[in-house]
Amino acid sequence: MNGNELNVSRRRFVAGAAGAALAAGLAGCSPATNNSDNGESLPNSAPEKTAYDMNEGEWIPTTCNMCFNNCSIKAHVVDGVVVELAGNPDSSIGRGHICGKGAAGIMQLYDPNRITKPMKRTNPRKGFDEDPGWEEISWDEAYELVDSNVKAAIERSGPHAVTGMSMVASQIGSLVRHTALGVIYGNAEGSCSDICGTGVHQLEYLLTGTGNARPDYANCNYVLQFGTNAGTATRHGYNMTVETFAERRANGLRHVVVDPHMGGSGEKADLWVPIRPGTDAALALAIAYVLVHEEGTIDIDFLKNRTNSPSLVNVETGRILFDEATGKSLYMDADGTPKTYDTCADPQLEGEFEVNGTPCKTGFTLYKEHIAKYTPEYQEQITTVPADTVRQIAKELGASACIGQTTTIDGVELPYRPAAVDAFSGITRHKHTWLTCQAVFTLNNLIGSTNAVGGFCGFDPICNGWTDDNPNMSWSLGIWEPEGLIDNNQLLLAFPNSYYTKVYESDYTPTTMGMMEIQPLSEDNHFEHVAQAHPDLYHTQAAEVAFCYACNPIKWWGNYDEQAEIFKNYTYVIGIDMYLNESSYFYDVILPECHYLERTEPLPHAANNHRVIGGMDNPWTVPVWQKVVEPRDGAPSSWELFGELASRAGKNAEFISTLNMMFRVKEEYSVPLDQKLDVEAFADSILKSNIDEEHDFAWLKEHAVYDHPRTVDEVYIWAGEKPGRVPMYFDFVLEAKAKVEAKAAELNIPWETDDYQPLPDWKPGCGYEVTDPDYDIIPTYHTDAINTDSWLMEDPYINEINEENPYGYTIEINAATAASKGLANGDKVRLVTTDGVAVEGVLATSEGVHAECIAVIGGHWGSKSAYMPIAKDKGVPIVHLIPGQTPDRMDHICSAFDQTIRVKIEKVA
Ligand SMILES: Nc1nc2c(c(=O)[nH]1)N[C@H]1C(S)=C(S)[C@@H](COP(=O)(O)OP(=O)(O)OC[C@H]3O[C@@H](n4cnc5c(=O)[nH]c(N)nc54)[C@H](O)[C@@H]3O)O[C@H]1N2
Ligand SMILES: Nc1nc2c(c(=O)[nH]1)N[C@H]1C(S)=C(S)[C@@H](COP(=O)(O)OP(=O)(O)OC[C@H]3O[C@@H](n4cnc5c(=O)[nH]c(N)nc54)[C@H](O)[C@@H]3O)O[C@H]1N2
Ligand code: SF4
Ligand SMILES: [Mo]
């Protein structure tokens, strides 16, 4: 197969590949523009005739997978051909909307460049410039190659010999991949790419009880966002947030966006605040300074009764005092006696005391003293945000919070704090991310909006079950007794997940390259990258075989050549994808997965509706994901593929019983353990176990969606005066620090522990060491509403939109910055690091970028794969500029990766 032969444009594809009915259907929903192929111009408004009868065929409900939001959609199928995709109004997941990406899914289904047959490489040399010489093989041979190579590596070198990779492109498939490799082969290693949520998820767990949180959009009046286009263009629950957000904006919600680039959020905001990358902690702490020291707009009741701020802290050690008899933390009561948090009637929020001869201050007094240096003027030098802007934001935030007010929902009186501070991936792709997240998210504690109506709430902290009388699918929050803090539930499957237990009770000895044990506050095994590159550093065993499912690992974080070297060193690499992306240039065998419209998946949103943003207005929703058309060339889904591998290895029972446990399948509904997994029958087991016998898979296929209303106690965790606090003084981090240091010393491995501190700070991250004034530009990247990660621009519809967008495949630069450098719109430029690594692109000037930055979409585009001819060489892969394999760029608490680098910008003649 020669990639270049498959260069297909939207028009040629429509005309050539798909028959008249389909062609007309596609043309009918395409934007009318100049046809770049032959200059032919189409009228802008004339509706094109559809060659199929709109009343013919059927609308089949299913799930979109053009991004990880997995909205509920319907596919219009006429004579076995999908002619149109639309949102499903019956489902809360998308609420009848389909976005541009989703609508373009039809082009991916019929894309002749999508792979549908397994292939093996015939050219043993690997590299971006080497044609792998793909040769089609039978499915039998493909499975045999996977099985024998994984098995042989593990028999030869143990469970660490194979590393599994997968990520967001197929989220539940990734879970199944991970489970299958573990259960079938005993594999113990894996890595993931999602540098998006590092630190954010943990703070959300600690503050809201679940790993994803959001402003309570429906009730919020003020949203302050740091580094995210949530609610407007990207992130979780896109099609449900945009609608509510837009309605609230029309009704007075004020929206402030802190971001070096004016993207999907910034352009719609009331106030866009351009910030120097990697400095958000300084800004957040200055907002805290104004709230605490200048305005005094803080929620004292909340801080006293719902946070651990009153904890008595030994000023010498920085550690909280615990009662010896009960092991519970001590607060100072109004009567001047220290009492355990749960017996203290009126805790003193501030003060300096002596307890049994030990000088103490409260956690809040220490916080107040700690932030005293973060004046708006001090932060201005760090962030470039004017001091006046900081005061304005802080005043607005404090005033919008309605401190002291309550409201009643379903008869329950609740605190009403309609203001929320939200953040996502923009603040996580830096060193010291943990501290930044702490600084940013605890602003919600200051104004009492954590878990309040209109405030900052978890997606799905508590579930009483998916029916009124079947509690099988239910979870609740625990309490970490020593401090009375809420304990939480894990992402996706909602089993209990306590960071405090990990900190206090776990063994810190690392067992994998990800070294999660020595990072008890981490969610992500990102150290795998460093350890694979430098196995001697941490005395870990490098993997020999890589198993890459639905991901593009060559492009994950940093320099592609470094990552390519790692891939060349694996003895065997297995890929499962829909495309031959650039990582496939290092694969030995590739197994295609069928398209999402060609497959059935049992529970697309897992247990705790990970991508459903929660709230009273979004019920518990179980949507259908069913096959709409037959898979081209019979390619399997990941469930079928892993089921087949399990079956061939004689591990059906182990595989199925593990899945049963994960999806809470009751014994009576289990599929047979001695047969290959039947995916539809397994869907039946899940539904019957967690809903009831009536709502089986046949019912769901017909009705598209099952839902059950959320109750007020599931949404607002403290409804009914339930106990529980959230941290403000992070004492447990000091507990972790001591244990991490002891373990690192014992194992003689280098480990950074400076950031393990109970109160947040801003610290300079990577790139700040560069002082050469020629290297004065910081590249940034963002996502937009029409692209998903690194692969959607292969879709002809999406490519067409990107080409029409002046900022689609270009380098966006501040017009004044460009002018000061003698550069202009349309100039071809080179971005060069101090190490001489360079990428090139064309400038597009705007007023929407911080003067010290440039901005691109994606940042990992510019595909090198000839097998993705539409995407090839388009866009600017700025992350190639970043050294990706050294520990100095890692946040050692939460495994974030710093992507800040300073570059020189040069005109290319
Ligand atoms: N349409 C679409 N939706 C998606 C995705 C997609 O690719 N396309 N991807 C999905 C995935 S995997 C994820 S992780 C989420 C991502 O969801 P978001 O995090 O909301 O998406 P981004 O657009 O990457 O937002 C990050 C923003 O941070 C800004 N930024 C960069 N550096 C800094 C900084 O130092 N400080 C501040 N304050 N801002 C900074 C960038 O300019 C960018 O606007 O979206 C998910 N949803
Ligand atoms: N420069 C830069 N780097 C980033 C990011 C960024 O925005 N910019 N984002 C970071 C983040 S937050 C994330 S989550 C990661 C994402 O990184 P990855 O998870 O690697 O995501 P993609 O790069 O989109 O690659 C997805 C691959 O999955 C394939 N695929 C799509 N659907 C399916 C399917 O149904 N089945 C199978 N088998 N394959 C499928 C696509 O063809 C594509 O090859 O990247 C991280 N790195
Ligand atoms: S937001 Fe994502 S899942 Fe929803 S329609 Fe768009 S591409 Fe599909
Ligand atoms: Mo992500």
Q: Using DSSP, how many helices (H) and how many strands (E) does the chain show? A: 27, 34
Nearest CA to ligand 1 atom 41: 782
| CA pair distance 451, 305, nearest whole angstrom | 13
Centre a 10 Å sphere on the Cβ of residue 280 and count the other Cβ atoms it contains.
Answer: 27
Instruction: Determine the distance separating the centroid of ligand 1 and the alpha carbon of 633, expressed in angstroms.
Output: 36
Range of lowest pLDDT (47-61, 306-320, 670-684)? 47-61
CA-to-CA separations, 85 to 82, 306, 532, 786, in angstroms, rounded: 8, 47, 43, 16
CA–centroid distance, 172 to ligand 1, in Å, is 22
Residue 48 in this model has a pLDDT that exceeds 60 = no
Max Cα distance, the chain (Å)? 88
CA distances from 302 to 413, 726, 833 (A): 15, 10, 48
Q: Which atom of ligand 2 is nearest to the CA of 197?
A: 12
Query: From the alpha carbon of 100, which atom of ligand 3 is closest?
Result: 6
Ranges of CATH 3.40.228.10 domains, the chain: 200-307+374-461+725-735
Does residue 809 carry a pLDDT above 50?
yes
- Index of the ligand 2 atom closest to the CA of residue 168: 19
**Would you state the torsion angle of the CA atoms of residues 648, 654, 658, 660, taken in this order, to the nearest 10 degrees?**
90
Asked whether residue 22 carries a pLDDT value surpassing 60, the answer given is no
pLDDT per residue as tens digits for the range 526-561: 999 999 999 999 999 999 999 999 999 999 889 999
**H or E element: which one contains 896?**
none
Question: Does 113-196+547-593 carry CATH code 3.20.20.70?
Answer: no
Q: What spacing in Å lies between the alpha carbon of 611 and ligand 3's midpoint?
A: 11
Orientation angle between helical segments 10-17 and 796-804, nearest 10 degrees: 150
Which atom of ligand 1 lies closest to the CA of 855? 42
Ligand 1 atom, smallest distance to 430 CA: 35
Least confident range from 35-39, 332-336, 471-475, 501-505: namely 35-39
Nearest atom, ligand 2, residue 595 CA: 35
66 C-beta closer than 6 A to ligand 3: yes
Q: What is the separation of C-alpha 67 from the centre of its chain, rounded to a whole number of angstroms? A: 11
Answer yes or no: is pLDDT of 76 > 70: yes
Answer left, alpha or beta for residue 584, where phi above 0 means left and psi between -120 and 50 means alpha.
alpha
For the segment 627-645, the average pLDDT, to the nearest whole number, is: 98
Q: Are 162 and 187 in contact (CB under 8 A)?
A: yes
Q: For 203-236, how does the pLDDT look when each residue is reduced to its tens digit (9 = 90+)? A: 999 999 999 999 999 999 999 999 999 999 999 9
- Contact assessment for residue 7 and residue 17, using Cβ atoms and an 8 Å cutoff: no
Distance in angstroms (rounded) separating the CA atoms of residues 309 and 305: 9
Among 68, 74, 99, 798, the mutation site with the greatest number of ligand 3 atoms within 8 A of its Cβ is 99
Please give the number of the atom of ligand 1 that sits closest to the Cα of 429.
Answer: 32
Token pair for 17? 């590949």
Ligand 2 atom 13: the closest Cα is on which residue? Answer: 194
Taking phi over 0 as left and psi of -120 to 50 as alpha, with beta for the rest, 647 belongs to alpha
Q: Where are the beta strands (DSSP E) in 502-655?
A: 545-549, 572-577, 589-592, 620-623
Asked if residue 704 has pLDDT above 60, the reply is yes
Alpha-carbon distance of 27 to 23, in angstroms, equals 6
Taking CA atoms only, the protein residue closest to ligand 3 atom 3 is 70
* Angle subtended at Cα 139 by Cα 542 and Cα 110, rounded to the nearest 5 degrees: 100
Q: Report the residue among 573, 611, 789, 900 best suited for mutation to probe ligand 2: largest number of ligand atoms under 8 A from its CB.
A: 789
What mean pLDDT do residues 355-383 have?
A: 98
> For residue 195, how far is its CA from the centre of ligand 4 (angstroms)?
6
Which ligand has its closest atom nearest to the C-alpha of 105? 3
Query: 517 by DSSP, 3-state: which?
Result: helix
How many CB atoms are closer than 10 A to CB 318? 15
For residues 313 and 348, the answer to whether their CB atoms sit within 8 Å is: no
Atom 33 of ligand 1 has which residue's CA nearest to it?
Answer: 426
Ligand 4 center from residue 667 Cα (angstroms): 35
What is the distance between the alpha carbons of residues 392 and 400, in angstroms, rounded to a whole number? 12
Q: State the distance from the centre of ligand 2 to the C-alpha of 908, rounded, in angstroms.
A: 31
CA torsion sign for 603, 604, 607, 613 is: negative
Predicted pLDDT of residue 322: 98
Q: For residue 889, is pLDDT > 90?
A: yes
Does ligand 3 have an atom closer than 6 angstroms to the CB of 94?
yes
The residue type of 845 is T
Q: Of the candidates 677, 585, 633, 628, which has an alpha carbon nearest to the alpha carbon of residue 139? A: 633
Find out if CATH 3.40.1030.10 is the number for domain 3-109.
no
Is 798 close to ligand 3, i.e. is its CB under 6 Å away? no
| Ligand 1 near 782 CB (within 6 A) | yes
Question: How many angstroms is it from 519 CA to the middle of ligand 4?
Answer: 20
State how beta strands 358-362 and 352-355 pair.
antiparallel
> What pLDDT is stored for residue 13 in this prediction?
34
- Ligand at minimal distance from the CA of 234 is 1
Ligand 4 centroid, distance to 68 Cα (angstroms) = 9
**Would the pLDDT of 24 be above 50?**
no
358 C-alpha to ligand 1 centroid (Å): 47
Does the domain at 778-907 match CATH 1.25.40.80? Answer given as no
Look at residue 865 and tell me whether its pLDDT is greater than 80.
Answer: yes
Mean pLDDT for the stretch of residues 708-715:
98
The atom number, within ligand 3, closest to the CA of 238 reads: 1
Minimum-distance ligand 1 atom for the alpha carbon of 69: 47
Nearest to 1 by CA among 813, 458, 483, 579: 579
- Tell me the C-alpha distance between 200 and 422, whole Å: 9
pLDDT tens profile 812-856: 999 999 999 999 999 999 999 999 999 999 999 999 999 999 999
> Residue 241 in contact with residue 271, Cβ under 8 Å?
no
Taking the C-alpha atoms of residue 282 and residue 383, their distance in angstroms, rounded to an integer, is 7
Integer-rounded Cα radius of gyration of the chain: 27
Q: Which of 193, 234, 239 to mutate to test the pocket of ligand 1 (most atoms within 8 A of CB)?
A: 234
Sign of the alpha-carbon dihedral angle for 15, 18, 19, 20:
negative
pLDDT tens digits, 281-297: 999 999 999 999 999 99
Q: Enter the tokens of residue 541.
A: 């065993």
Where in the sequence of the chain do the CATH 2.20.25.90 domains occur?
A: 3-109
Please give the share of the chain, as a percent, with pLDDT higher than 90. 90
Q: Looking at residue 188, what is its pLDDT?
A: 92
Cα–Cα dist 793/771, whole Å: 37
The arithmetic mean of pLDDT across residues 8-35, rounded, is 33
d(Cα 152, Cα 167) in Å, to the nearest integer? 25
State the pLDDT at residue 34: 33
- Atom number of ligand 2 nearest to Cα 166: 19
pLDDT score for 528: 95
For the CA of 596, the nearest atom of ligand 2:
35
Whose CA is closest to 844, among 876, 887, 881, 873? Answer: 876
Q: Is 101 in the pocket of ligand 3 (CB under 6 A)?
A: yes
pLDDT 10s digits, 730-785: 999 999 999 999 999 999 999 999 999 999 999 999 999 999 999 999 999 999 99
Residue closest to 186 by CA, chosen among 216, 208, 154: 154
Q: Which CATH superfamily is domain 200-307+374-461+725-735 in?
A: Dimethylsulfoxide Reductase, domain 2 (3.40.228.10)
Provide the 8-state DSSP code for 769: T
CA torsion angle 527 606 231 802 (round to 10):
70
Name the residue of 790, 856, 868, 879 to mutate for ligand 2: max ligand atoms within 8 A of Cβ: 790
Whether the Cβ atoms of residue 596 and residue 104 lie closer than 8 Å to each other: no
How close is the Cα of 197 to the center of ligand 4, in Å? 7
pLDDT at residue 393 is higher than 90: yes
Query: What sign has the CA pseudo-torsion 129, 130, 136, 141?
Result: negative
Q: Read off the DSSP letter of residue 84.
A: E
Distance (angstroms) between ligand 4 centre and the Cα of 196 equals 5
Q: Which ligand is nearest to the CA of 236?
A: 1
8 pLDDT above the threshold of 80:
no
At 675, list the tokens. Answer: 């047969």
pLDDT at res. 141: 98
In 71-170, where does DSSP find H-type helix? 100-103, 105-109, 139-157
Phi-psi region of 531 (alpha: psi -120 to 50; beta: other; left: phi over 0): alpha
Provide the pairing of β-strand 271-273 with 254-258: parallel
User: What are the respective helix, strand and coil percentages of the chain, to the nearest 5?
Assistant: 35, 20, 50
Cα 198 to ligand 4 centroid, rounded to whole Å: 10
Instruction: Provide CATH 3.40.50.740 ranges for the chain.
Output: 113-196+547-593
pLDDT at 195: 85
Per-residue pLDDT band for 49 (boundaries 50, 70, 90) equals: low
What are the structure tokens assigned to 179, written together?
């489970």
3-state DSSP of 170-228: HHHHHHHHHHHHHHHHCCCEEECCCCCCCCHHHHHHHHHCECCEEECHHHCCEEEEECC
Ligand 4 centroid, distance to 52 Cα (angstroms): 39
pLDDT score recorded for residue 119:
98
- How is the beta sheet containing 904-907 ordered, strand by strand? 778-782, 853-857, 811-814, 838-846, 828-832, 904-907
How do residues 558-582 score in pLDDT, each as one tens digit? 999 999 999 999 999 999 999 999 9
491 lines ligand 1 (CB under 6 A): no
Q: Which residue's CA is the closest to the ligand 2 atom numbered 32? A: 169
For ligand 1, is residue 230 a contact (CB within 6 Å)?
A: yes
783 Cα to the center of ligand 1, angstroms: 5
**Residue 74, ligand 3, Cβ within 6 A:** no
Tell me the two tokens of residue 134: 């793909």
Asked if 85 and 253 count as a contact pair (C-beta separation under 8 A), the reply is no
Residue 199 near residue 428 (C-beta atoms within 8 A): yes
Contact 818, 892 (CB under 8 A): no
Q: Which residue has the tokens 């000023």?
A: 315
Per-residue confidence at 12, pLDDT binned at 50, 70, 90? very low
Tokens for 462, please give them.
């508590």
Q: Is 743 exposed, middle or buried (0-12, 13-18, 19+ CB in 10 A)?
A: middle
Residue 626 pLDDT exceeds 50: yes
Q: Is 71 in the pocket of ligand 3 (CB under 6 A)?
A: yes
Distance CA 621, CA 824 (A): 51
Pairing of strands 456-458, 213-215: antiparallel
Q: How far is the CA of 807 from the centre of ligand 4 (A)?
A: 22
Quickly list DSSP for 526-559: THHHHHHH-TTTTTPPPPSEEEEES--GGGSSS-
Separation of CA 788 and ligand 2 centre (Å): 8
Q: What integer best gives the mean pLDDT of the chain?
A: 93
Residue 41's pLDDT band, with cuts at 50, 70 and 90, is very low
Sorting pLDDT into bands at 50, 70 and 90, what band is 680? Answer: very high
Report how far residue 573's alpha carbon sits from residue 867's, in angstroms, rounded to the nearest whole number: 18
CA–CA gap between residue 782 and residue 812 (Å, rounded): 11
Mean pLDDT of 363-370: 98
- pLDDT tier at 18 (50, 70, 90 boundaries)? very low
